Structure formats: C-alpha cells, structure tokens
C-alpha cells in the first residue's frame, strides 16, 4: 500500500445532535490521555513500582475566523459555554467517502471550557475554543 497524504484543508469540526460543520475553521487538535497511577513499592517486593491505567479523557482546541453575520454553529458553541451544557463534537481528518478519511474523533458530551474571540486589522475576526470530554468518546 502506498502513502497517500490527506490534504490540509480536508477535515472538519462539527457540532450538534445531527452534527453540522462549523464554518471557517482553520485547524483543530486533540490530546487523548489515560490516567496512570503508581502503586508501591511494597514491603518484601524489591522496591518495584507498579502502574495502573485509569480513566481516559480527551482535551483539545479548534480555531478559525468569524464570518460576517456569525455562524449558527459557532454561536451554539458559545451558548454551550455560557449555558453550562454539553455539546456533541465530531472532529474529522480527511473527507468521508472519497478514500481520504483519517481519524474521526466523536465526543458525545464535550464541555466547552474556554472561548477566545478577537479582532485585528490584518486578519479580521477570530475565534478559538477549548474543549474536553465529559464521559466517553470514540476514535476510529
């Protein structure tokens, strides 16, 4: 099998019960972690330390531009933060159905932990969001 790259602009961030793509997203990233706890050393065990896997979580960010007139999906993300509600997020590498799909990360109950909005004279209105899982997630 030969290497076929996924184009940089193929990919998507979607939100909602029926995931709808957010407009003008420039990039996203996610960190998947597992909690590791240490046990030991125990008496009469030669000073060994044992590690136990615990809970899993995902945290990440996405950023982009704010279009004129706003984007209803970006506004829904803001409402999730200010209203204290979870949101369904789907982050996708590549394009489904055209042979370029990479990983698809689905967080059914994501907490929006931070939103940063800005404006500058060169690049216009910007939008950045931080999120983390609240329970289970899947990656395929």
**Tens digits of per-residue pLDDT, 65-104?**
999 988 899 999 999 999 999 999 999 998 766 666 889 9
Predicted pLDDT of residue 99 = 62
User: What are the E-state strand segments in the chain?
Assistant: 11-15, 20-21, 25-39, 50-65, 87-93, 104-120, 124-133, 138-139
Query: Dihedrals φ, ψ of 72, to 5°?
Result: -60, -30
* Bridge partner residues of 43 (DSSP): none
The full set of domains in the chain, from first to last, is 11-139 (2.30.110)
**1 pLDDT more than 80:** no
Average pLDDT, the chain: 93
In Å, how far are 11, 76, 94, 136 from 66, measured between CA atoms?
18, 13, 22, 30
Q: How confident is the model at residue 127 (pLDDT cuts 50, 70, 90)?
A: very high
pLDDT at 124 over 70: yes
What pLDDT score was predicted for residue 7?
84
Pick from 106, 113, 116: nearest CA to 131: 113
Examine the pLDDT at 112 and tell me if it is beyond 70: yes
pLDDT at 65: 94
Would you place residue 2 in the very low, low, confident or very high pLDDT band (cuts 50, 70, 90)? confident
Predicted local confidence at residue 64, as pLDDT: 94
- pLDDT value for 98: 63
Q: What is the pLDDT of residues 39-73, one digit of tens each?
A: 999 999 999 999 999 999 999 999 999 999 888 99
């Amino acid at each position: 099998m030969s290497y076929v790259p996924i184009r940089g602009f193929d990919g998507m961030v979607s939100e909602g019960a029926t995931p709808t793509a957010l407009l003008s997203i420039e990039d996203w990233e996610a960190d998947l972690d597992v909690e590791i706890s240490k046990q030991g050393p125990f008496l009469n065990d030669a000073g060994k330390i044992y590690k136990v896997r615990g809970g899993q979580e995902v945290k990440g960010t996405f950023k982009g531009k704010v279009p004129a007139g706003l984007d209803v999906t970006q506004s829904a993300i803001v409402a999730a933060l200010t209203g204290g509600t979870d949101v369904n997020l789907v982050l996708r590498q590549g394009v489904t159905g055209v042979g370029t799909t990479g990983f698809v990360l689905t967080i059914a109950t994501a907490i929006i932990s931070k939103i940063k909005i800005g404006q500058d004279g060169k690049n216009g209105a910007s939008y950045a969001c931080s999120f983390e899982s609240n329970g289970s997630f899947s990656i395929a």
